[in-house]
Structure 1
Amino acid sequence: MSKFKVFFAILTLAYQLQSQVFATSFDREFVEQLAQQAVRDSFSGVANRKISVSAAKLDPRIVIKSCDQNLQANIPDINNSRNVNVKITCEGSTPWNLYVPVKVAVNAPVVVAKFAIDRGSMLTPDNIHVAYVDEKRLRGEAIANPNSLYGAKAKRNIVKGKSISPNHVCSVCKGDSVTLIASSSSFNIKTSGTSVSNGHLGDKVRVKNNRSGKLVTGRVTGVNKVTINL
């Protein structure tokens, strides 16, 4: 064998040995954690949410090969899916990839009933609080700020743990005495009125002016408060 061939064989063997020396072995738990972290990172810009992720246990029959580079985790667009297949890739001298299924739950802060609330009952810190609920379980418009509900009344029975929406409550309820405010850039005039419809914050309601007897339309701006912008 020529000296060149011997040198080349030694160089090739050295390269192979070096690749083996620097290759890293990865266990199933590491790969599962890598997939979970990739999903968490994809939600880093989502505010006021708690993200819960759980990777499926890899089949023990799967052989996770060594890799002489750091493993890469790539995920598709989430698209509000509960399940994400994270692609784990080795881009080293002996490339390989595998997929790890990850379950995702996005939990949003919403106001819920601490216990059953009867129709006509006033909402207070004693019977409502903020809880984190899986967005997939929410139906309709949920309310995140309990301060907007204190003093409002339940329009219907609300079961324990139910997320509260504007349809469940009225800040101004039919038959309530309200403060009627006529407002402009130069003055505010207050008088008393009686609501002839239900409404939550921001809703328009009809109110009878107790002094003039006329029906007017205003917007609910607080508990038992209706404002007419002139």
Structure 2
Amino acid sequence: MPSTVAPKSTLRTRLRRAGLGLSLACAALAAPAQQGSEDLSALSQRWVDDALAQAQAGGALPLRMEVEVGALDARLRLAPCQQVEPYLPAGTRLWGRSRLGLRCVQGQTRWNVFLPITVKAFGPAWVLAGNVTAGSVLTEADAIEAEVDWAAEPAAIIANRDAWIGQTATRALNPGQALRQNMVRAPELFKAGSPVRVVVQGPGYAVTSSGQAMTAGSVGQTIRIRMGNGRVIGGVVSEDGTIQAQL
């Protein structure tokens, strides 16, 4: 089973590199002098397909990629261009709903337009088998394995079963939803106002004291604690409920 995030982050990195490396290579796919929307769509499809193929080359990514290329605004009237260069606009990636830039690099009139695209990435995930109420602790019976589009939502897919079993639902979940990182959290070890043990660490020393949690706390969460002298400090919740703080 693939890890929760690594395949996606690896894919993004490779796509980003592919987008930079293929922009010049795909510029060689010169569009005809009388450039039409169908020609631009075909050019864009080839560019994205090549980018995705290069991104997956040399590594066994557990994702099956599909690309849907949209259409330009029918009201656009583009001047003839001998060579069109596809490119990824800054801040965009080939993941989910995105856009591809198309610019005329050889023509009497230079132009730049954007074409909507949708990149789907199908892979194994865990899908809810029934309704789950907010605050419920997920068990093995709550989800089944299925193929889903990882890129359908911004939040990362939870592909590892051990990463969601025993976790608490952050909101009401419905059957058929794929489990993503923003849907679950670690169970609360204590409530707001509960007394907690605080280990304060400094250069060469560690002091154990007591305080009061100002919010509920889960493993790995950073919370604020009010100490006995009234001072408020921050710390990270350990597995045993102890708060690890540094001064």
Q: Output the TM-score relative to the length of structure 1.
A: 0.44
Tell me which of the two structures has the higher relative contact order, counting C-alpha pairs closer than 8 angstroms and 6 or more residues apart: 2
Q: Output the TM-score relative to the length of structure 2.
A: 0.41
- Higher Rg: 1
